[in-house]
Amino acid sequence: MTITIVGHGYVGLVTACVFADFGNVVHVIGHTKEKIDRLKKGDPIIYEPGLKELLQKNLKGNRIFFTMEYQQAVAVSDIVFITVGTPPKESGEADLSAVVDVARKIGSALKKKFTVVSCKSTVPVGTNKKIETIIKRHKSKSVDFAVASVPEFLREGTALGDTYKPDRVVIGSDSKRAVKMLLELHEPIPSKKIITNLASAELIKYTSNCMLATKISFANLIALYCESLGADVEMVLEAVGMDSRIGRNFLYPGIGYGGSCLPKDVKAFISIARNNKVDAGFFEEVEKVNSTVRDNFAETVIKMSPGKKIAFLGLSFKPNTDDIREAPSLYLIADLLKHGFEIKAFDPVAADNVKKILGDKIKFVNDPYEAMEKADALVIATEWNEFKQIDFARVKKLLKNPVIFDGRNIYSPDLMKKQGFKYFSIGRI
């Protein structure tokens, strides 16, 4: 098939590379010449393990093309995917301005007798119907189309694997012809296909992300109980997770969820509930717990650090990505700076993105041990693998005080005690 993907972020670019790798011809539309030029040269712009190699492979195979011209791409495509951002407004409601703008441009560019326009962006229920209305208003009379919702479930850091072999593929459409074409496109993907209507597909994505956020906040709430009651949250959640009805995935305490999906989707779900006169209290508490654990950790560092110079390891919201959107690290750094702390930070891939926001407010270093030199304490904010087996003897020599604040519970309290560290983690004894 020939397909077009509008947007080249984590979802758009990964999806484009995977479908190109299956042998399809894929056009990717962007809106910034500089980024399009970089993509044409094989630079994926974002960091995702394996993505650069896959992009370059399909560029050499002449299966993936980058452009800013809708007419050039949409006119020859069987399926067009919308993968633009839907960031939260101040109210928490999803900002659909980019989706609306893209729908207008797609409508004007449609030329084939039949095209499927499929939205992968996370959007409130009813948005695909709005897309349909907008396209009808801008298309020529001679072309036909159908809309569909095919939400993505990829995780940054494992996006390629999640796209090649997702847990499920959800296809929502009122058009049997559109469903048939989308099933054909997804045929190489060995996952269960869920065929449903537009509203259900739109709601599935929000429900999935809100469930994941709920599990994280639940784990953090139990950590707060454990700290008050003298229990060990790791032991509690390990035992709870052995129940096959519950499972351990996402039941890990820490300094909260971040990234491009969970924070905005919880906010949007709260807004959707309010707009439809449904009680939003449950998800308001999920969001509140996420803020509480982050604030509590910052307060612990502020009160218990023996000095104002901090070594800070991890800036991305999770390992294996350079994404810093809603990263807990940024909230922690802001709190520490307000209280006069000096910060030397290291992250394997996300430092440049943080520099664009913080400038010289903190010092960025190229090695974790360089960050620790003469620091009063060490803060762990992201559970990168390279932090899990650091040389503790060297850490102890470099730090002015053997104090570690572990926001991701990556070390054993017993080991830290044996190594002579004063160790603070989340919900453990």
* Residue 214, in any domain of the structure: no
List 119, 210, 226, 261, catalytic entry: 261
146 and 87 both lie in a single domain:
yes
223 domain-assigned:
no
Residues 256 and 397 in one domain: yes
- In this prediction, residue 113 carries a pLDDT of 87
Same domain for 164 and 292? no
Give the pLDDT confidence score for residue 112 in this predicted structure. Answer: 84
The verdict on 124 and 38 lying in the same domain is yes
Note whether 65 and 157 are same-domain residues.
Answer: yes
CA distance between the termini of the chain: 57
What pLDDT, on a 0 to 100 scale, did the predictor assign at position 260? 87
pLDDT digits 0-9 by tens, 275-294: 999 999 999 999 999 999 99
**Is residue 413, in this structure, part of any structural domain at all?**
yes
Burial of 368 (0-12, 13-18, 19+ CB in 10 A): buried
User: Around Cβ 353, how many Cβ atoms within 10 Å?
Assistant: 19
Check whether residue 192 and residue 236 sit in a common domain. Answer: no
Residues of the chain with confidence (pLDDT) below 50: none
Query: Which of 196, 215, 246 delimits the end of a domain?
Result: 196
The string of DSSP letters for 98-164 reads: HHHHHHHHHHHH--SSEEEEEE-S---TTHHHHHHHHHHHHS-TT-EEEEEE------TTSHHHHHH
Instruction: Answer whether residue 94 is part of any domain.
Output: yes
Q: Are 297 and 366 in contact (CB under 8 A)?
A: no
Q: Find the length of the chain.
A: 429
**Residues facing residue 168 across a β-bridge:** 192
| CA 364 – CA 352 distance, rounded (Å) | 9
- Contact, 318 vs 382, CB < 8 A? yes
Considering the domain architecture, whether residues 137 and 35 belong to the same structural domain is answered as yes
Residues 150 and 107 occupy one common structural domain: yes
* Judgement on whether residues 113 and 257 belong to the same structural domain of the protein: no
Q: Decide if 222 is inside a domain.
A: no
Regarding whether 188 and 42 lie in a shared domain, the answer is: yes
Last residue of a domain, one of 150, 177, 196: 196
User: Any idea of the CA torsion for 189, 191, 192, 197, to the nearest 10 degrees?
Assistant: -50
Q: What is the pLDDT of residue 223?
A: 96
Over residues 26-41, the pLDDT tens digits come to 999 999 999 999 999 9
Closest CA to 154 of 66, 46, 234: 46
243 assigned to some structural domain: yes
Same domain, 47 and 103: yes
226 a catalytic residue:
no
Task: For residues 181 and 245, state if they share a domain.
Answer: no
402: tokens are: 């053997």
Local structure of 188: helix, strand or coil: coil
Does the pTM surpass 0.85? The reply is: yes
The verdict on residue 180 lying in a domain is yes
Question: What CATH number is attached to the domain comprising 317?
Answer: 3.40.50.720
Examine the fold and report which residue of 196, 223, 243 is the final residue of a domain before the chain moves on. 196
Q: How many structural domains compose the chain?
A: 2
| Dihedral angle of Cα 177, 181, 184, 185, to the nearest 10 degrees | -160
Residue 372 belongs to what domain range? 231-424
pLDDT for res 350: 96
